Chains A and B, each alone.
Chain A
């Protein structure tokens, strides 16, 4: 039962688990009482969550549990009915320059007239600033981030000519170009090939090594314990949160997924507890 409240209503206190952090470093993300409503239907209900100061955090939960909505609400992309969000100990609006974002691949029109390199350069816009054009040295820098994901040979391809995995790598390179302290990634591993998957996990490990925090909406329960340090289990409420080895238990998952996980699905997992 560690890391989880006895009922969905009273979980808030349990999320303030001691995570072994030095008290003077603020958590990467702290949310209290977050509620989001779509069209009168609640999508997230009274979520309170305190993240670690660094490391890789998987956000898991059944379909429709509000995983993407959680990211978007934290980033201010969807309006919140109530609740407070702090990133790196400050209101979200103050630290925009230190936040990186990888939206879902389906969020954009891939027939847009732009190349892989130009998309990666968008990650530099924040530092280039208002009204200033993208210069040659910016493109040279963008090219290096493209190389980090093994895509430098495709720099001048129109993005619609890339495969799904390649498009995802371009999105990841754009986020790397943001050089953020905290990253939010929305299902970066959905529908990608194995080579892209290992590139993405390599990058995640590198970000962890550099002391950054990555929140990653993740659908594949199989790979959670192998690749992530912390987990946040959502089912409209914050169901459980904490280090993978304490929270990612068969009992928690079974309950969060409403008993809909087949025994086979569970037995394949490397679970804790």
Chain B
């Protein structure tokens, strides 16, 4: 813990909190149609957009129609995306001549980007053409973020209303958000990123002549292009063990011995091995693209799907400590502000600040925990060094962990370090943030309305304890509301755990794991956890580009996106149609310490009851084994 690190942490949280009221108020003005400084330019454009797309912004929608609009819009996006991914080799802007994506990858990615999840089971620079990156991915990063925000706005608006059936117009919410807020903010963020070195070009990849060419081995091919193999006895290398069973070390390296493999009868086990020939490598490709403008929307609107395989760990996506800080700030600024906007929409700022504090406290605790555990030495590698495996020198351990917990508490899902290589309990913190439902600020829109499920459950439980009719923001809660709140929480959780259980039972699930032992289970749990909660980060060792994971995660992402949306809209649709009752002395206040602590308790208990067994089998047992020096 150095002074510099403390300064960065204070600056990060401080700036995030300081920006919350102004940004939140600006969002409120945009969505309620009040005049902002952008009005003179954008108001005429807004009217043109309504005309071009056949929209009457004053047409009110019921909650069900609003849901259909959200779903239809995403479905159209899904169809377009899938079509682009599967035909990209024939489309323009493909200087690298990248081939079409497989149908299952296209299926998964199309839902992933239209549902604001941005989970990726491919490597960007070797899979996606410029056309796909821009039209199938970046455009839908904009639209999915703006859709989520529109739903939250409708929720806030509906809670303020009384005795009406309608909750607003989706198209108007979407258009206003995109035009006045999302697009200008992205332009603002692109500029410093481009200045610091993030590429912004659509020229083909450059090729550099290596200063030091090297020779490597590749598999020989015959005249027909088939791989040449030869049949030899299988020989495996194993660490040489001394009498006590400890590995023998020479010069600090574990001595290895060749062990020819024989079967039970003593006959040699034969295997086909490729014939290798030398190949000279003289060039390094430099993958380029419109990365800077892509990076802005990816970070600001909780998308997280990177241009390159390693996301913001790639020096082109995140070239300097300054870009790292700006991208970190971009993760939290809108999600924090949305809580304030919600407070303004429902006319109860005290309630919003209480929710804000609960989110901030739980988020900070996860960061502190992850930083502590990540700073501990690893007894398995047997040295007291900082764990720099899967981390970048310019970023360092603290900023990696801060990003890792931010992008999961906030449903962003971008990474600047490899979560798979975190220490077990440090890796559990991002996983925990995902499993509590990604609402410690959470995704754009979705984090806030997922938090409302827990708020409603808390109000219900508290009401039951003191024997009063539960009320929330002046509305009496009934069985319909409670039922939908529980659906909104439980279905995504089930959609995480059931596929995980299936994956560890069948070979299609097991064969993708990169690490053995409990770490493998953590990889799979993380995969479906983030799919169910629409995150995009990963324990990236898991090879998810297989039909099983692509189809499974694609379906889980859909469930994790639309079940909460229909649940919250059903709830607020019901509440909007009710009369508002004045708060009385019997009303349980939804602000202050008592409510905040109860809410935090409910959040932790719901997540712990659901996921504690799985976490025990994954990171917790791995931590114990690691302390015992066990490796896999």
State yes or no: do A and B come from one complex. Answer: no
| B positions within 8 Å CB-CB of A | none
A-side residues, CB < 8 A to B, are: none
